Amino acid sequence: MAEVSWTASALTDLDKITDYYAQEHPKYGQTLADEIMKRTKQLILFPKSGRIVSELSESGVRELIYRNYRIVYWHDEEDDKVEIWTVFHFSRQFGGSEGSIEE
């Protein structure tokens, strides 16, 4: 079973999602963030279940899709660890200030 962890920037991404909906739909924002967290639990048993990120050639970088969000992660096969790098909406460009994989 893989160990799953989140980078600080990925957790900040979740906070931004919650904050985005806070004014008009606060319950939805928190529910969405909770569901994204739940979605990543599948990586404990199935770390390769996400598709390969097409924008990157680096092996081990994959993504899960939840609703309109991309959950980008790296799987270290040798140590069987998964690190969630970023979560962002499809409307955002990958690798910009939103959707960055920089720690």
Which residues, 6 or more positions from 37, have their beta carbon under 8 angstroms from its beta carbon?
Answer: 14
Q: What angle do CA 22, 26, 29 make, to 5 degrees?
A: 85
Cβ contact 57:43 at 8 Å? no
Cβ contact 78:85 at 8 Å? no
Asked whether the predicted pLDDT for residue 97 surpasses 60, the reply is no
**Is residue 103 one of the residues assigned to a domain?**
no
The pLDDT tens digits for 3-43 are 999 999 999 999 999 999 888 898 998 999 999 999 999 99
Query: What CA–CA distances, in Å, run from 31 to 2, 17, 50, 92?
Result: 25, 10, 22, 21
Using pLDDT thresholds of 50, 70 and 90, give the confidence band for residue 93: confident
Q: What angle do CA 75, 40, 37 make, to 5 degrees?
A: 135
**Is residue 38 one of the residues assigned to a domain?**
yes
Asked whether the predicted pLDDT for residue 98 surpasses 70, the reply is no
Asked whether the predicted pLDDT for residue 90 surpasses 70, the reply is yes
Using pLDDT thresholds of 50, 70 and 90, give the confidence band for residue 65: very high
The pLDDT tens digits for 46-60 are 999 999 998 877 778
What does the alpha-carbon distance between residue 14 and residue 72 come to, in Å, rounded to a whole number?
13
**Is residue 16 one of the residues assigned to a domain?**
yes
**Is residue 70 one of the residues assigned to a domain?**
yes
**Is residue 33 one of the residues assigned to a domain?**
yes
pLDDT at 14: 94
pLDDT at 80: 94
**Is residue 37 one of the residues assigned to a domain?**
yes
Question: How many structural domains does the chain have?
Answer: 1
